[in-house]
């Protein structure tokens, strides 16, 4: 999982008030291991998406399930926030450490 360093600035809601910054981050597929060979670098197939844009997630919430050849892996949110955009579709092949969705932090 990696954090995106980009920030989105919102203008002041009232004159004289400072703007607020929200940290955005991506939810990535897990890294398995260097000792586990992957065919063409493909981790598996997106089996299920458990959230939609606009949903609020907590740290550790399962947001997607990736089906590998041997097991189903749960993709969890590393922090709380609001889902902004889903970057994959059910049935897509995905590699490890690749983004699944973008989330705006609290």
pLDDT in tens, 24-40: 889 988 877 665 556 66
> For position 18, what pLDDT does the model report?
45
User: Smallest Cα–Cα separation from 105: which of 66, 77, 70?
Assistant: 77
**Most distant CA atoms of the chain, gap in Å:** 57
> For position 68, what pLDDT does the model report?
85
Residue pLDDT, tens place only, 65-82: 999 888 898 999 999 999
User: Smallest Cα–Cα separation from 26: which of 89, 90, 75, 91?
Assistant: 75
> For position 34, what pLDDT does the model report?
63
pTM: 0.72
Domains detected in the chain: 27-101 (2.40.50.100)
> Distance between CA atoms of 18 and 16, rounded to whole angstroms?
7
Q: What are the structure tokens assigned to 37, written together?
A: 């060979």
């Amino acid at each position: 999982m990696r954090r995106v360093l980009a920030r989105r600035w919102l203008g002041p809601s009232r004159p004289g008030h400072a703007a607020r910054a929200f940290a955005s981050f991506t939810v990535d597929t897990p890294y398995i291991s260097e000792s586990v060979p992957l065919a063409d670098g493909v981790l598996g197939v997106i089996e299920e998406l458990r959230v939609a844009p606009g949903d609020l997630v907590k740290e550790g919430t399962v947001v997607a399930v990736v089906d590998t050849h041997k097991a189903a892996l749960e993709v969890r949110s590393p922090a709380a926030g609001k889902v902004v955009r889903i970057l994959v579709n059910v049935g897509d092949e995905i590699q490890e450490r690749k983004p699944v969705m973008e989330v705006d932090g609290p």
